[in-house]
Structure 1
Amino acid sequence: MSTANLNADDDAIVAATRRWLERAVIGLNLCPFAKSVYIKEQVRYVVSSATTPEALLEDLMNELQNLSDADPEKVDTTLLIHPFVLQDFEEYNEFLDVADAAVEDMHLDGELQVASFHPHYQFADSDANDISNYTNRAPYPILHLLREDSVARAVEAFPEAADIFEKNIATMEELGHDGWDKLDVGPAR
């Protein structure tokens, strides 16, 4: 595990994020690619102290550059956890366009991409409490920075990658809200 700028509160935030990764993302196999980088300790956890979207953008750009410069054998992916900004999902969702533009402006498109997790994640045309939304719900808002090469290798190794979304929905429907709550990974209903 690689961490950056951790204090006591940050430790608790990272611990909650790791619990979510272990119990939900890996434990429910929501992302069949996550276990490998997690076990190899190639995940970098960064807790942003940003309280404005502008400050978060600065942190995002720093972390995009850090990931681009890092040895993939040491850091393959970064979780930029930002508990103090973009708590509203609609504002967060709008920020994702800014994040994608930053990747492009830094000439990292084709090299890196940004995935998204949020405590109030909601797919378009779904009810806010629909269990399918929980596939992308995390204890804190997170910008997940991924290497395109790693994604391509993972998809190649997992031929049914196109079926992941549907499988995840089925997993969540079988688990239900009570099952999710028992995982204790936040957020609860």
Structure 2
Amino acid sequence: MTNPYEYRNKAQFQVRLIDGHVAAGLYKENSHDLVDLPTCSVQMPATMTVMRQVVAWLEELQVPIYDEEHNSGIVKTIVVREAAATGEIQLVFITNTPKLPKKHQLLMKIAEKLPMVVSVMQNINAGKTSLIWGDQTTLLAGKPTITEELDGLVFDLSARAFFQLVDCKINPNAVRTKKISFL
């Protein structure tokens, strides 16, 4: 890999209140103690721009944030995925309930300030579980997928799709090899 920075095209950050402020990040090893990540050097810059802006809006609009200890609140996780070739971004709110307070205001802000976000989804995971994703995903705005292109191949990526670009960053011939295996 020529550049070990800014290669991850998907950020999946847990959301919690820390000292009265909305925080988004990852858990400390072997715990559920959240480490707020205002920056992340391995994430593609646009994913972090969207993540930080959405976190700020959740706080500004006082959207209820999930409290794992009491199984209350609503927003549990934010997922941001960027298609490197097209620049399209998908944003997913993973929530504890089908209700997403201030949804209209959030969608208006996203449309106005983050035009690269072409897909906004909500996934409902009402269970008190270590699993991130629930079974139900609905489209809130835009289109249900983002489009990625690699070596002439076009991929429409849903919110739950597994798609990793790291192989292509390490070995540019990986796409050609994988392309042959698809045929």
- TM-score, reference length from structure 2: 0.29
Q: Pick 1 or 2: higher relative contact order, CA cutoff 8 A, min separation 6.
A: 1
Quick check: which one's strand share is greater? 2
The structure with the largest alpha-carbon Rg is 2
Quick check: which one's helix share is greater? 1
